[in-house]
Structure 1
């Protein structure tokens, strides 16, 4: 298995571990100083990875972009919002799908470069970096929520 796939597996495992240790009632608390909830972060990580790596072949529901895309926030949510358990399951399924991307395609150029990312590997690396950032946010939020309850 390639280095980048190992990084992705470790990162996704860390994300799942963070939420497994948290009481479900804390998922929708928005601590002071934070723009979103842990629930939102889970959906956001899922959506960004799917958009970067699968684009038009995404298998996520259409409303996920509105719920979890850049600039979205839980206070604007309406309609059918997936539970954190659903998102957790989708994150696990998505990891399997990402790991199925053939390593021989990693150096292939993508149709539409974005923010300096030109190859499949560039996008996978950015997904890992993005997810790691959100794990840090989730961890900080978790500490604040647990210390105030």
Structure 2
């Protein structure tokens, strides 16, 4: 699992680098043809990891729970995302992975509820390791979307 965590961190650092010089307005801009923005992309990665790992294992979230509905699967930005919230979700992008790795070592995910994800039709997560492996693909998918979005902001 060490290599998987390495890949997740590398991908998330690349995303942070991609947006590091953007203004709050640029992070909030929804380009034509898209239903969300760069700030939402980052928040969505954080929230998806929390839901797929912590919620499905009956553990408490390690992020502000008010972010869950704002960035969950199927959501879209409903209002301007403040610079403070953007800074917080950027910080969560890496800190939640550090916490996940620690919690995995402490075996906090033994009570995992299997879940069929919507991203890849019929793909089922049976245990925490499946969820962590899925995060690699999911993060890559949203990094690609973010690369495209940045061209239009």
Q: How many residues align?
A: 142
Tell me, what secondary structure is at the counterpart of 1:12? helix
Counterparts of 1:1-149 in structure 2, within 5 Å, are: 2-55=2-55, 56-74=59-77, 76-77=78-79, 83-102=85-104, 111-115=112-116, 116-145=124-153
Deviation (angstroms), 1:41: 0.9
Distance 1:40 1:21 in 2: 17
CA distance in 2, matches of 1:124, 1:80: 29
Structure 2: give runs of 5+ residues left out of the alignment.
117-123
**Unmatched 5+ stretches in structure 1:** none
CA RMSD in angstroms, aligned pairs only = 2.6
Q: Could you state the TM-score of these two structures normalised by the residue count of structure 2?
A: 0.80
Q: CA deviation at 1:22?
A: 2.7
The 3 A distance-change label for structure 1 pair 87 and 104 is closer
* TM score, norm. by length of structure 1: 0.81
Moved over 6 A (4+): 78-81
